[in-house]
Amino acid sequence: MTLSQFCDAVAAVGKAHGGSVTSWGRSPQHSIRVGGFVGDPHTWWLGVDMVYDTGANRPEADQMAHSLGLKVLHEKGHDHYQPADFPAGPVTKYP
Ligand SMILES: [Zn+2]
């Protein structure tokens, strides 16, 4: 999934579900500071955290997100989106 495809997919989900992005791209230093790690999806600008007008998590958006190639993690305080094929752990090469 390209950065452009990811942006289009996340925007579509957010617009359809009353979402607001609270975090997107991060420098490696900032990612570490907020509990992430070097090579995580946010440092690739392929990770987005979103909240909704209805609350912090929205499982109702999962089906749409999956159909657009996204993986969703329902985390405390927000939903995290990333490409479904983004590898786990520190990533040095993608795709
Ligand atoms: Zn996140």
- Ligand 1 centroid – CA 45 distance (Å): 10
Residue 93, in any domain of the structure: no
- Ligand 1 centroid – CA 48 distance (Å): 5
Residue 67, in any domain of the structure: yes
> 71: Cβ–Cβ under 8 A, 6 or more apart, which residues?
65, 81, 82, 83, 84, 86
Mean pLDDT of 4-14: 98
Locate 45 and state its tokens.
Answer: 């600008």
| Domain housing 26 | 3-83
The whole-model pTM stands at 0.96
> 62: Cβ–Cβ under 8 A, 6 or more apart, which residues?
72
Locate 37 and state its tokens.
Answer: 């790690």
Residue 94, in any domain of the structure: no
Check which CATH number belongs to the domain holding 62 and give it: 3.30.1380.10
87 preceded by a cis bond (ω within 30 of 0) = no
Residue 20, in any domain of the structure: yes
- Alpha-carbon distance of 24 to 47, in angstroms, equals 6
Locate 43 and state its tokens.
Answer: 């440092």
Residue 56, in any domain of the structure: yes
Q: What is the pLDDT of residue 80?
A: 98
| Residue-wise pLDDT tens digits, 45-89 | 999 999 999 999 999 999 999 999 999 999 999 999 999 999 999
Residue 62, in any domain of the structure: yes
- Ligand 1 centroid – CA 82 distance (Å): 8
Mean pLDDT of 11-26: 98
| Residue-wise pLDDT tens digits, 19-47 | 999 999 999 999 999 999 999 999 999 99
- Ligand 1 centroid – CA 42 distance (Å): 7
- Alpha-carbon distance of 63 to 12, in angstroms, equals 13
Residue 53, in any domain of the structure: yes
The domain tally of the chain equals: 1
- Ligand 1 centroid – CA 2 distance (Å): 18
- Ligand 1 centroid – CA 16 distance (Å): 20
Residue 18, in any domain of the structure: yes
